[in-house]
A and B are shown apart, each in its own frame.
Chain A
Amino acid sequence: MIMKERIHKDVVIIGAGMAGLTAALYCGRMNLDTLVLENGIIGGQIANATDIENYPGFISVKGSDLIGTLQTQAENFGAVIDEFDEIEKVTLKTSPKIIETIEKIYEADVVIIASGMNRRKLPLPEEKKFAGRGVHYCELCDGHAYNGKIIAVMGGGNAAVDAANFLTKYAEKIYLIHRSEFRADEVSRKKLLSNDKVTVMLQTEIKALRGDKRLEGVEIFDKKTGETKTLAIDGIFVNIGVEPNTQLFKDELTLSASGRIIAGEDCRTEIEGVFAAGDVREKEIRQLTTAASDGTTAALLAEKYLAKLKG
């Protein structure tokens, strides 16, 4: 059995989205030995965002550009980001705290959890059969395949409406299908409704996916009329919300009913030296700006905690 290398860090940040990278920027500027571990994509949900128009200081910015700049800022101040190793286990109640990855064992005085949210999968048994064969979760990656085709976007929030707006550059026809009413903001909604390619189907549920080797249609149920019919489409992009990425922490920290980490506005959790920042923290408002705010708060209070710890 190969012994894993043990490495000490002042701060380990779990997650390289807006909250995690902001925390890394602040920790780096305070000369803390800082490591960011990311199991998925740097940027998290924002990596897929096409046009962000509500981040102060930018008229409109691509998610990948915003996050790329933030990553450079954090790295310029000495934070190290590892997006290739993968966390297997965390032990937070000990001192130091232990984060075990596939390759290494990290001992950290402070852990900032900023693991964010994962996109919710389409909850239908046929999802597995059609995933990548008509059922998609990344507009930027797979949208190009639907040039001149008929597609659907499932969901009614900002992510869904923005995805549909983006996909109008490829598709000939887009159905936006949502089981209740719009939750997207008015700016995105107006843009969508002004596009002739788009048909909005609210109060409509997707009951089943149809097709042989790849998706050919969806069975939909109109809740207003009680009518069920099959809609022929070539592909569907699913944007039905997100779920907190807290699987690693469920035995260590108290989670809310929605699976998020319970911590106050100061981002302190029930364990000293463990902070929760961004969308993974239970709170009412979850925006890019509040994620940045959480990252800042967690980093500054982490530095205070470390100063006290080291006397």
Chain B
Amino acid sequence: MVKVYTVTGCPNCEKVKRYLASKDVEFVAYDIEQNDAARAEAKRLTGMDYAVPVTTIDNENFVMDFDKKALDELLCL
């Protein structure tokens, strides 16, 4: 399952979600401002306290920000 770590109101987070939806990719979005476990997981992945958006499919490889090429590679689009 594709996971996207976000915060409310973040324009790039919304763009990533719109892109995944446009490609019919099923995903779960976690608001790291509201969800401590998600925040800890995003930190484990990126090594940063607050980076959003972060997209992962395997809980190891991830893409930060909106990077279409990197997302396509990560998700084999």
Contact A141 to B10, CB < 8 A, known contacts A86-B68, A132-B51, A133-B48 = yes
Residues of B in contact (CB 8 Å), total 19
- Inter-chain contact B33/A144, CB cutoff 8 Å: yes
Provided the pairs A84-B68, A86-B68, A133-B48 are in contact, do residues A141 and B11 lie with their beta carbons within 8 angstroms?
yes
Q: Is the CB of B50 within 8 A of A144?
A: yes
Chain A positions within 8 Å of B, measured between CB atoms, are: 41-43, 47-48, 62, 64, 83-84, 86, 132-133, 138, 140-142, 144-145
| CB-based contact B10/A84 at 8 Å | no
CA distance A86 to B32 in the complex (A): 29
Question: Contacts of B10 on A, CB cut-off 8 Å?
Answer: 138, 140-141
Residues of B within 8 A of A (CB): 7, 9-15, 18-19, 22, 32-33, 48-52, 68
* A-chain residues with CB within 8 Å of residue B22 when the two chains form the complex: 84
Nearest Cβ distance between residue B9 and chain A, in whole angstroms? 4
**With A41-B12, A133-B48 known to touch, is A141 a contact of B7 (CB < 8 Å)?**
yes
Which A residues lie within 8 Å of B19 (CB)? 84
Q: Quick one: closest A residue to B68, CB to CB? A: A84
B68 neighbours in A (Cβ, 8 Å):
84, 86
- Cα distance A141–B11 when bound, in Å? 8
Could you tell me the distance in whole angstroms from the C-beta of B66 to the nearest C-beta in chain A? 8
By secondary structure, the A interface counts as: loop
**Pick the contact of B15 from A41, A48, A86, A140 — CB < 8 Å?**
A41
Contact of B9 among A83, A84, A132, A140 (CB under 8 A): A140
A47 near B7 with CB under 8 A, answer no
Which 5 residue pairs are nearest across A and B when measured between Cβ atoms?
Answer: A145-B50, A141-B10, A47-B11, A140-B9, A41-B11
- Would you give 24 A-B contacts (Cβ < 8 Å), ordered by A? A41-B11, A41-B12, A41-B15, A62-B9, A64-B9, A64-B11, A64-B14, A83-B15, A84-B22, A86-B68, A132-B48, A132-B51, A133-B48, A138-B12, A140-B7, A140-B9, A140-B10, A141-B7, A141-B9, A142-B50, A142-B52, A144-B33, A145-B49, A145-B50
Q: Which residues of B contact A142 (CB under 8 A)?
A: 50, 52
Q: Which residue from B11, B18, B32 sits with its C-beta under 8 Å from A138?
A: B11
Whether the Cβ atoms of A48 and B11 lie closer than 8 Å is: yes
CB distance from A231 to the nearest CB of B (A): 21
Q: For B13, list chain A residues within 8 Å (CB).
A: 141
Q: Which residues on B sit within 8 Å (CB–CB) of A41?
A: 11-12, 15
Shortest distance from the beta carbon of A234 to any chain B beta carbon, whole Å: 10
In the bound assembly, the distance between CA atoms of A88 and B7 in angstroms comes to: 31
